[in-house]
Structure 1
Amino acid sequence: MSFWLTNLLAEEIWGAISLGLLIIQAPAVFILLSRLLKGPSRRPPIEPLTPTPELLGAVSVVVPTLNEAKRIGPCLAALTRQGYEVREITIVDSHSQDGTPDLVKASQQKDPRFRLINDDPLPDGWVGRPWALHTGFLHSSQKSEWVLGIDADTQPSPGLVASLVKAAQAEGYDLVSLSPRFVLEYPGEWWLQPALLMTLLYRFDPAGTANQSPERVMANGQCFLCRRSVLENVGGYTSARSSFCDDVTLARYVASQGYRVGFLDGAKVLKVRMYEGAAQTWKEWGRSLDLKDAASSSQQLGDLWLLFSLQGLPLPIVLCYLLFSPPLSFSPSFLLLGLNLFLLAIRFALLLAIAPSYEGKSKKEKGNILPFYFYLSPLADPLAFVRILLSSIQTPTQWRGRQYSQVKRSS
């Protein structure tokens, strides 16, 4: 009798826990499915294009730098290969000590469009990157219709700028940015980075889908094109001056002012080698992925619930069933297991969907076959949720070689 009562009590406890988890997860699954259904109708990745005469001198490029000597070389070489649509390429250096200015000056000898300037000391309330971009915007030619912010760790393909401008014109965008093709090398980053990227894919519509409400706009500052007239009207980068995710903050502010903002798939025209290894990826990228500087408290809480439901819970729940084998009659426990197996299936399907957005640095694999660590990245999903949670409750005190005290957030 005692054994029977114990089993009955255990079954009731499992059922109650399962019902509670179902209540938490089920709405998140509906939100995810509503976003995934938009995938087939999204705009395909943009293709490199040859500039046409009407684009002559239409774009001023701004590249912010701070000790980028180890990785800026491919970016400078790629910018040189852009066509006559690029009027000027302004490198805004924050007094680098590693030889970055020398590399820029060497490029300047080959391409007169390059110009090197130093930004002024960082004003109170500003973060370094938006300050450098703002400085570059203020020093750019007023004859350019567009201003393109490019990060030093990117590798733009020939025809990137022309294709980006033409896509913006065709879609009627005032501001448009691109998701890149990620170049990875070490096993740890192959395992962790896709899980961190998935935190963005779960929270936002796929790149290339129709405009969302301003508070849900997504952007990527690694390749960030905006009409000069729009930047002039919104005060340059001042709205994002204190933000550690200045790209999203500025894009959402621009969208809130009634301008059309787009986020497109740029995997065919833009590569990026962001960080070296899993530790650096965890530290540097992980602390800005929460996007708290661009979101309200309610948005942050909603996103944390979504990621907890879709990334934090599925793997532990399935493992729990495998290890403890709770009763699986048609009950909340049975439904919970089925729901989380379904979520893991979606996760692996998404992994296959984003595979074209990755390549190995060494390119030893024929046909760019991705290493098996990439396919193990779903195992890092609970860790990715923990990273976003930690980032959401912490304010960075160090960023790209700069130390910050408490930065006063801009309104």
Structure 2
Amino acid sequence: MLSLALLCLVLALLPAVLAAVNIRCLAAPEPMPGATGLVSILIPARNEAAIIAGTVRAALASEGVPIEVLVGDDHSTDATDAIVSEIAAHDTRVRLVAVPALPAGWTGKNNGCAALAAAARGERLLFIDADVTLHPHAAAALSAHAERSGAALVSGVPRQVMRSLGETLTVPAINFLLLGFLPIPLMRQRPDVSLAAACGQLVMVSAEAYRQTGGHGAVRASLHDGVSLPRMLRAAGFRTDLVAGTTLADCRMYSRFGQAWAGFSKNAHEGMATPRALPIWTILLFGGHVLPWFLLAVALVAGLPAVALTALAAGLVSLGTRAAITRACAEPLATIPLHPFTIAMALAIQWTALSRAARGKAPTAWKGRSYPVGPR
């Protein structure tokens, strides 16, 4: 049992070291004086009447770079189009784009983003989800970083707003996996497709690189453009980069647990939920962040002080890593003690998605559409 506790400690230390390195090198970008290139802020929207006005108005408040704001109405059945049209009537920088009917083999978001990109006039395309609230300097800062770094794609994870228990049990896994397991310095040095990463909530792409590679049309079947888009660009020889997005935008992805489960499940097969990858991720995550607490309880009952101390050390390293990431990403402090449950929940979602795919790709519903779970 002591050997198992030592393994847990090693598994907990791996993301701790990577997170320490990543947090130091993942800085928030700064605007560049005198920026002139037009940025097209592109917002795909389907039944977003409750939030779209705030999203558009926040985008219109952008400073430091010229902008246009395009909203793609993807066959909404609520007042999304009317709300955007009303704003556009008072601000010529806003345009409502009617998204074409969903073609066979396309996912909804990719279809909407492709339609928006086709109508955009900017030198850089800033794709944001309808639930993302941009900060005034965000577009200018991302554009400046792209200019300085030479990256065709720049992305960051917005500050994640969480107000319910369901959100705090699921959403923090995003930043933990990114900062704890992606070697960001290596990602910047090497062009490997396997090192590609982005957050689909906030992605800026060079319009030239986007059109040269086919953009969202080249990844039309993907449900996870945060993975597929940077991989596609890297495969074509373009650079991609990540920045700290906490000061650039806010996002409330989901308002309840059911939404979070469905949202993370729909794109699981493009992340961890593959027969080859998920067993490895389970060892890394369960072994380093859940198992130590079980071992600690067993060791205390069985009177095994060496095992108890080693398991406790692994657990404290795990929570320390979560605390550092929580602070760096401005997430709620309540997520720290919930970390073992967050990891367990993430693995449960992934294994459920993989199991459903193995049983015949049972469809998952999202925004009123059904998509198969598993590779297509």
Matches of 1:207 and 1:220 in 2, distance apart? Answer: 17
Contact 2:48/2:80 (CA < 8 Å) preserved in 1?
yes
Contact 2:13/2:317 (CA < 8 Å) preserved in 1?
no
Structure 2 counterpart of 1:159 = 137
- Give the number of equivalent residue pairs: 368
Does the alignment pair 1:226 with 2:188? no
Does the alignment pair 1:36 with 2:36? no
Amino acid at match of 1:254: L
Shift of the alpha carbon at 1:94?
1.0
1:116-195 aligned at under 5 Å gives the runs: 116-141=96-121, 144-195=122-173
- Over residues 231-260 of structure 1, what are the superposed CA-to-partner deviations in whole Å (9 max), with x where a residue is unaligned? 122112133211111221111121122211
- Over residues 136-176 of structure 1, what are the superposed CA-to-partner deviations in whole Å (9 max), with x where a residue is unaligned? 112222xx221111111001010110011001111221111
Question: Which of the residues 232, 252, 255 maps onto 1:276?
Answer: 255
Contact 2:70/2:96 (CA < 8 Å) preserved in 1?
yes
Shift of the alpha carbon at 1:74?
1.9
Q: Give the match's secondary structure for 1:184.
A: coil
Which structure has the greater CA radius of gyration? 1
Structure 2 counterpart of 1:81 = 61
- Over residues 5-48 of structure 1, what are the superposed CA-to-partner deviations in whole Å (9 max), with x where a residue is unaligned? xxxxxxxxxx4xx546756x57645643552352364132234x
- Over residues 83-112 of structure 1, what are the superposed CA-to-partner deviations in whole Å (9 max), with x where a residue is unaligned? 473442221111101111111112102221
Structure 1 counterpart of 2:93 = 113
Shift of the alpha carbon at 1:308?
2.7
Structure 1 counterpart of 2:225 = 246
- Over residues 295-348 of structure 1, what are the superposed CA-to-partner deviations in whole Å (9 max), with x where a residue is unaligned? 9754444333322322342232223323x325346xxxx3xx444323322222
- Over residues 183-232 of structure 1, what are the superposed CA-to-partner deviations in whole Å (9 max), with x where a residue is unaligned? 12224423443256434443323699735532132201111111111112
Amino acid at match of 2:317: I
Contact 1:44/1:208 (CA < 8 Å) preserved in 2?
no
Q: State the TM-score, normalized to the length of structure 1.
A: 0.79
Query: 1:81 and 1:72, CA in 2 relative to 1: closer, same or farther beyond 3 A?
Result: same
Question: Which of the residues 324, 329, 336 maps onto 1:357?
Answer: 329
Q: Give the match's secondary structure for 1:148.
A: strand
Question: Which of the residues 346, 351, 356 maps onto 1:389?
Answer: 351
Matches of 1:351 and 1:406 in 2, distance apart? Answer: 30
Does the alignment pair 1:325 with 2:305? no
Query: 1:53 and 1:199, CA in 2 relative to 1: closer, same or farther beyond 3 A?
Result: closer
1:32-111 aligned at under 5 Å gives the runs: 32-39=15-22, 41-47=24-30, 49=31, 52-57=33-38, 59-83=39-63, 85-111=65-91
Contact 1:207/1:264 (CA < 8 Å) preserved in 2?
no
Amino acid at match of 2:237: G
Amino acid at match of 1:346: V
Contact 1:208/1:263 (CA < 8 Å) preserved in 2?
no
Amino acid at match of 1:325: A
Matches of 2:225 and 2:348 in 1, distance apart? Answer: 23
Amino acid at match of 2:353: S
Matches of 2:95 and 2:349 in 1, distance apart? Answer: 39
Amino acid at match of 2:323: L
Shift of the alpha carbon at 1:276?
0.5
Amino acid at match of 1:253: M
Amino acid at match of 2:264: W
Matches of 1:352 and 1:308 in 2, distance apart? Answer: 18
Q: Alpha carbon RMSD of aligned pairs, Å? A: 2.9
Q: Give the match's secondary structure for 1:220.
A: coil
Contact 2:9/2:288 (CA < 8 Å) preserved in 1?
no
Matches of 2:197 and 2:322 in 1, distance apart? Answer: 20
Structure 1 counterpart of 2:368 = 401
1:359-378 aligned at under 5 Å gives the runs: 370=332, 373-378=334-339
Shift of the alpha carbon at 1:73?
2.3
Structure 1 counterpart of 2:188 = 210
Matches of 2:344 and 2:87 in 1, distance apart? Answer: 44
1:328-339 aligned at under 5 Å gives the runs: 328=305, 334=307, 337-339=308-310
- Listed as ranges, the gaps of 5+ residues in structure 2 are 358-362
Structure 1 counterpart of 2:360 = none
Q: Give the match's secondary structure for 2:72.
A: strand
Contact 1:239/1:249 (CA < 8 Å) preserved in 2?
no
Shift of the alpha carbon at 1:400?
2.2
Amino acid at match of 1:399: W
